[in-house]
Structure 1
Amino acid sequence: MPAVPRRPSPAALLTEPPRAGLDVAALAAAWPLLAAARRGDGHPVLVLPGLMTGDPATAVLRTALRALGHDVSGWSLGTNRGPTGRVVDTLRARLERLHRTSGRRVSLVGWSLGGLYAQELARAAPGSVRGLVTLGTPVARPAPWVRTASAIADAGAHLLPGAAALPRPWAQRGSLRVPATSVYTRADGIVHWSSCRYEVRARRENVEVRGSHLGLACNPAVLWLLADRLGMAEGAWAPFRPPPGLGLLFPRRR
């Protein structure tokens, strides 16, 4: 059974910025290693940012994935301020367009709140989605703080036009019928790691990395894992296994 989700510690929250700086420094040192990562097959990949961030926050991640042969798109919607009607409609239309124009299913990568969007897109249109990877996203249920957030959002829905157009991600409406990987760090100061773990079942997994929440999009372990997950042939999903020599980047604690 997954652990009961909790809130991050104040210390973890306060140290997020400097620890994210360490993740960036680690990436600079590990960048040459990415040349040996699994290559992509050119299928479309849509990357969704976290709350109050935008495409600049995922620029390094998208650059690395393009260098590995992936056809990567940012979300192109400015700052992520929540599931407004514009966000919902645009993401649904973009997923459909990427699928239609490429003739291939789309992989979704979502960071924090962006991961909740990715789940909802995958639930709504599983035929268009090849798989998804979430980074520091509260995918577990039930989480007390998430229920509180839901109540607040519902109470203030009239203040945010279009918010009701997207099913509440924390409501877990419908089944998730595509392969899904949740990446988390126990040092996360924004979302407690216990909220970021799926109940393990077929084609669903949790992978722990070392680092901060704010640094997940430039964490070398995350980039290696994304290359591995996105580089798998469609229909050939298998659980992630760290390569020899990189095991320290992926703790195996339960």
Structure 2
Amino acid sequence: MSAQATPPLRPPGLGLLLAEARSLIELNASLLLAPVLLRACKGDGHPVLVLPGLLASDLSTALLRRFLTHLGYRSFAWELGRNIGGVYGMRAKLGDRLTRIHELTGRKVSLVGWSLGGVYARDLALHRPELVRSVITLGSPFARDLTATNGRRIYERLSGESLDNVAAADLQALAGALPVPTTSIYSRGDGIVNWRTSVLQPSASAENIEVCLASHIGLTVNAAVLWAVADRLAQPEGTFRPFDRGGPFAIAYPPLKPANSSQRA
């Protein structure tokens, strides 16, 4: 008997999309919680390249980068203007940016990518693993059905790249294991990206962190997300330990679920 085909995923509904307005509340909450956030794990000075999402610029990641700088990292913007998409089209430019940062600092670079920026980050780690220390994605659609987002039409129109034409080998690679420690942070309340497309296969060097009630737009400013990013970046180079769901934002991190339960449509 042949295996039943997995039904395609759908983008988040209108209710979740409209609820993205709560990102303003997340931003204000993080500003109020700044004294708590600054007690996060301190950095070792290694470089961190932060990549914005579709239609966003470096302004969208300014708070995240400032937070990382305060913790002791060398935080870098992508400096490529507004992100108008194109995984294939941006690959060479991002590779050059990554190389320059590596040459400037003399150290491997951690990549933190929000939404489409996280897809870029995973693609960079696959093609330039010798320059990458770790990858952290925030609400990034890299698994199962890349079309299950409310940004598909905008991406295809601006980038000129159709998601239907992505090579099967590239899809498998993006969704598969990376050669560096990897963390995917996502929210089931994401109103832009179907959260199931952000779930990676856990391993000894890769894990998922769900953040309750976070919006897609708010993933770069949400206090629980910022805390988790700081914790993951603080790991010594070449090592990986599971994320501790305790601490001041413990209520935001649901308990781990079996791997197969998170993959259900």
TM over 0.5: yes
Take 2:10 and 2:242, find their aligned partners in 1: how far apart are those partners?
Answer: 27
- Aligned counterpart, 1:78: 81
Q: Secondary structure at the match of 1:215?
A: helix
Distance between the aligned counterparts of 2:190 and 2:240, measured in 1?
27
User: Kindly tell me: are residues 103 and 202 of structure 1, through their superposed partners in 2, closer, same or farther at Cα, counting changes over 3 Å?
Assistant: same
Normalised TM-score (structure 1):
0.86
Large movers: runs of 4+ above 3 Å: 3-6, 84-87, 142-146, 166-170, 172-175
Contact 2:139–2:198 (Cα < 8 Å) also in 1: yes
Report 1:82-93 matches (<5 A).
82-83=85-86, 87-93=90-96
Partner of 1:119: 122
Give 1:7 deviation, angstroms.
2.2
Q: 1:145-156 alignment to 2 at 5 Å?
A: 145=148, 153=156
Q: So what's the TM-score if we normalise by structure 2?
A: 0.82
Give 1:170 deviation, angstroms. Answer: 6.2
2:28 aligned residue: 25
- 2:182 alignment counterpart: 180
| Aligned 8 A contact 2:87 2:120 in 1 | no
**C-alpha distance in 2, partners of 1:8/1:116?**
19
| AA matched with 1:224 | W
User: How many angstroms apart in 2 are the aligned matches of 1:13 and 1:169?
Assistant: 31
Which structure exhibits the higher relative contact order, with contacts defined as CA atoms closer than 8 Å and separated by 6 or more residues?
Answer: 1
State the percentage of identical aligned residues: 42
| 1:146-169 per-position Cα deviation (integer Å, ceiling 9, x unaligned) | 7xx59x95xx89x849x9xx9799
Structure 1 alignment gaps of length 5 or more: none
* Equivalent residue runs for 1:90-169 within 5 Å: 90-143=93-146, 145=148, 153=156, 160=160
- Paired with 1:145 and 1:231, the residues of 2 have a C-alpha distance of 32
1:187 alignment partner, SS class: coil
Q: How many correspondences in the alignment?
A: 243
List per-residue Cα deviations over 1:153-200 (Å, max 9, x = no partner). Answer: 5xx89x849x9xx97996133752111100001110000111110011
Q: Could you tell me which runs of 5 or more consecutive residues in structure 2 were left unpaired when the two chains were aligned.
A: 1-6, 258-265
User: 3-state SS of the aligned residue for 1:46?
Assistant: strand
Partner of 1:58: 61
Aligned residue in 1 for 2:243: 240
RMSD: 2.9
Letter in 1 for 2:12: P
